[in-house]
Structure 1
Amino acid sequence: MATQKGSTTVAEAIKDIELEKVRGPQSENLVKAGTFWQDQTTLIHILRRFGCKLCRHYALELQKIIPVLEEQNVRVIGIGIEKLGVEEFLEGGFWNRELYIDNGKKIHHALNIKSVGVLSTVKMLYDSRDAIKKASNVPGNMKGDGRQLGATFVIAKGGSMLMDFRQKEFADHPSLASILEACGVDQKDFPANLDGESEKVVCN
């Protein structure tokens, strides 16, 4: 269940969870989530699966706005739920910012981010066919936990929630414009190549 804007519930729930660094500025291999928003606003994108075509496609979409976010001093964090496929994900150029692994899906358990059953998985794949077609030029595979849903958060410096988006379907993602708005980017500074078809959800 999404939290209201300004709430610190999510930050408090996950701040002490240790994540394994894949790519990041720290010298330590294990990093507490709470350090991400200690000094600046942070976009946290929790991926379903590194081999997922939809996840890869959206990660590429996010790259359209990352330069604008970083100009606004917004830190960009990617989090996966397992190491399987991470090297291929990085080598394929799908993500070029900080990346961490949440071994044991501790964030998902703390925030009750859903995993779906077999029948729901089949239905979601059918319902996602248009999005899958849109991502047809993106390579993918079926390796890993295909039933887990993901999430996208924007957390302000200090821990206040600016955006809480949790997937209900495999193809659910917040629009790029809604992320920029949550991060306080003026519309005049939006890139011209934004995809307007993704769902726009900002916590309120």
Structure 2
Amino acid sequence: MSIAQKTKTSYNDIKDITLVDFLDVGTERSLPAHELWKDQATVVIVIRRPGCQFCREEARIFDAQRHTIENEMASGIKMVCIVHEKEGSDIFQKEFWHGKVYFDQQKDFYKALGNGRLRTGGWEQMVRPSFWGNLIRNKKSGVKGNFIGDGSILGGLLLVHQGDQGIAYEHIEKVWGDIARADRVLEACSRVSGVSLNKENVNQAQLEHQALHDKMQASPLAAGQASSSGEAGGAPSACALPTQ
């Protein structure tokens, strides 16, 4: 019997997706997505582009929670990243993620997060205050990116139960740099594993989240002042924005 909570993303849309294990392996191999969570619940981070500064920041944020999620939870909860292009994935893995990365050539995870369709961005969304907040947060993090590849396809994050019990938690990216809150992901992992969290870990994650927003408000970019610079980490063209 499924113990999954109600989510917009359908488990049936993700369980048989074909992925490719291609980094740090002698020979690439294909596998169905449900093999990832066959024995352990799994956090699946679906990123837009390995070179994107926001995607790298997201990877670094959750990589910092790796010990808590993978070692302190009962039976451990795996964390993996999904990419739809290989370019830059090796640097992304080695410098920001330090975990498994799988290639979704058909972009099926991205379609599943969009109820069967790819959600892509448009430059007109740069007027959104939330975008500038995300950009300011990223600039404060010091994480930089590049302009290689297609960053127009929006991603998200899923926590999938072990076996075929479904999706326990989801975060669907709506705005460029819209990163899932680490404290909420930790709380979801706690519910799934049945292991109580160290309150200091949650409180620290909440404080860090608030600190990011305080920095955003303190920056002149909070008023929507765009940067026209083409430098990596400074230009608003590292990824595309959503159209909805």
Same fold at TM > 0.5: yes
Q: Which has the higher helix share?
A: 2
Cα distance between partner residues in 2 of 1:110 and 1:45? 13
| 1:189 Cα deviation from its structure 2 partner | 5.8
Unaligned runs of 5+ in 2: 214-244
138, 148, 154: which one aligns with 1:132:
138
Q: What letter matches 1:80 in structure 2? A: V
* Post-superposition offset of 1:181: 0.8
| Cα distance between partner residues in 1 of 2:148 and 2:55 | 13
2:89 pairs with one of 86, 89, 94: 86
Secondary structure at 1:30 match in 2: strand
The residue number in structure 1 matching 2:159 is 154
Aligned-pair distance for 1:153? Answer: 0.5
CA RMSD in angstroms comes to 2.7
Partner in structure 1 of residue 174 of structure 2: 168
Match of 1:187 among 185, 191, 197: 197
Deviation at 1:147, TM superposition (A): 1.5
C-alpha distance in structure 2 between counterparts of 1:63 and 1:114, whole Å: 26
SS for the counterpart of 2:22 is: strand
Letter in structure 1 aligned against 2:171: F
Q: 1:115 aligns with which of 117, 120, 133?
A: 120
Structure 1 stretches lacking a partner, 5+ long: 200-204
Distance 1:54 1:196 in 2: 15
Match of 1:145 among 146, 150, 175: 150
Q: 1:8 to 1:172 in 2, by over 3 A?
A: closer
> Do structure 1's residue 196 and structure 2's residue 209 form an aligned pair?
yes
* Change in CA separation of 1:67 and 1:27 when aligned onto 2, cut-off 3 Å: farther
Q: Deviations over 1:133-165 (max 9, x none)?
A: 223x22210111121111100011123221111
Q: Percent identity?
A: 26
Q: TM-score, normalised by structure 1?
A: 0.82
Return the alpha-carbon distance in structure 1 between the equivalents of residues 166 and 45 of structure 2: 16
**Residue 190 to residue 66, structure 1, CA distance change in 2 (3 Å):** farther
What is the match of residue 202 of structure 1?
A: none
Residues 183 and 25 of structure 1, relative CA distance in 2, 3 Å threshold = farther
Aligned equivalents of 2:182, 2:168: Cα separation in 1: 14
Shift of 1:7: 5.9
SS of residue matched to 1:179: helix
* Distance in 2 between residues matched to 1:99 and 1:63, nearest whole Å: 13
Provide closer, same or farther for how the CA distance between residues 24 and 161 of structure 1 changes in structure 2, counting only shifts above 3 A.
farther
* Distance in structure 1 (CA, Å) of the matches to 2:99 and 2:51: 18
Specify whether residues 193 and 25 from structure 1 end up closer, same or farther in structure 2 by C-alpha distance, changes over 3 A only.
farther
Distance of 2:112 and 2:56 partners within structure 1: 25
For structure 1, which segment, 145-154 or 124-133, has the greater mean C-alpha deviation from structure 2 after superposition?
A: 124-133
Residue range with higher mean Cα deviation, 101-110 or 144-153: 101-110
Change in 2 beyond 3 A, CA 1:128/1:174: closer
Q: Which has the larger radius of gyration?
A: 2
Could you report, residue by residue, the CA deviation over 1:83-108 in whole angstroms, capped at 9, with x for unpaired residues?
111122234x1111111011131222
Aligned partners of 1:6 and 1:160 also within 8 Å: no
Q: Aligned residues, how many?
A: 193
Residue matched to 1:57: 57
